[in-house]
Amino acid sequence: MVRDTSVNLCGIRLQNPVIPASGTFGQGFEMARWYALDKLGAICLKGTTLEPRFGNPTPRIAECTGGLLNAVGLQNPGIDALVSKVAPHVRSLCRTPLIANISGFSVEEFGICCEKADACEEIDLVEVNISCPNVHKGGMSFGTDPAAAAAVTRAARKALRKKPLLVKLTPLVTDITAIARACEDEGADALTLINTLPGMRIDIRRRKPVLANRTGGFSGPALLPVALRLVNLAAAACKIPIVGCGGVASASDVIEMMMAGATAVQVGSANLRDPMACPGIIDALPALMEELGIEKLEDIIGII
């Protein structure tokens, strides 16, 4: 029996639910030399800001038990380069749906970037990362306050007249459902969760932080239980689709995420450890579905 791995995300049919997470897959085209990008469910492009950013000083990656820390600092060529060069280049290599990941340091920046992404024919969906610091509010993350999350979502929704809007949530909140509902109420078509947790490593011989930035975002397998819980809570609180992210490294993890309520799943740190992680997960899904008696992946979304 042929197992159906396809899912519908915001009206776009993905041949499978596996999406490389933003920031862990370059801009996508770098991986085309290793395998056909059309194998993926979708591709989430590297995080983009209004202006080009060089990123943080090195070292900005640190290994740790159960995952890794990164403090790359949103290094990217800026939104204009994304829509004029990067997205067209990736599209020339595949027909896989492309997701632009947008970051901003003010509500206005989010709106401008989303408007430019909306006008780009090669981009299919837009994911807004609200874990960025709000420069007008003393650096507090947009995603930690329902009102701020709503403001960004409202601005993005106004700018996006053609593309579906995904909002990526931070786990650093006491009530994820309040943030999730605020985004849904302002027009988000889907939610992505979770983003990284803050962490730190210290070089005990040098007596200094391992990262030049002192702290970074912790990701990897250790995050999976945290992500599963928050995905499950958000899925129960909202009617829009959830994209699960955090610690996914196997076909089994994908099934868990979908049972918790995710329609699609992003694979992050696993790509940095093994560039073939995503195709390996995709190849393993049909056999695991057969073992578990699953005919269609969509049948298990949110069954827990």
DSSP string, 282-302: HHHHHHHHHHHT-SBGGGGTT
Count Cβ atoms below 10 Å from residue 296 Cβ, excluding itself: 13
From the list 10, 113, 120, 132, the catalytic residue is: 132
Q: Which two tokens stand for residue 215?
A: 């702290």
Averaged pLDDT for residues 255-259: 98
Tell me, what DSSP letter sits at residue 141?
A: B
State how far the alpha carbon of 270 is from the alpha carbons of 86, 124, 170, in Å.
Answer: 23, 24, 20
DSSP states along 2-50: --B--EEETTEEESSSEEEPTTSSTTSGGGGGTS-GGGSS-EEPPPB-S
Q: How far from the centroid of its chain's Cα atoms is residue 124's Cα? A: 15
Q: Which two tokens stand for residue 285?
A: 């899904």
* Residue 138 binned pLDDT confidence (cut-offs 50, 70, 90): very low
Amino acid at 171: P
Averaged pLDDT for residues 14-43: 95
Which domains are present in the chain? 7-300 (3.20.20.70)
pLDDT computed for residue 136 by the predictor: 57
Q: Is the pLDDT of residue 133 over 70?
A: no
44 is catalytic: no
Q: How far from the centroid of its chain's Cα atoms is residue 61's Cα? A: 19
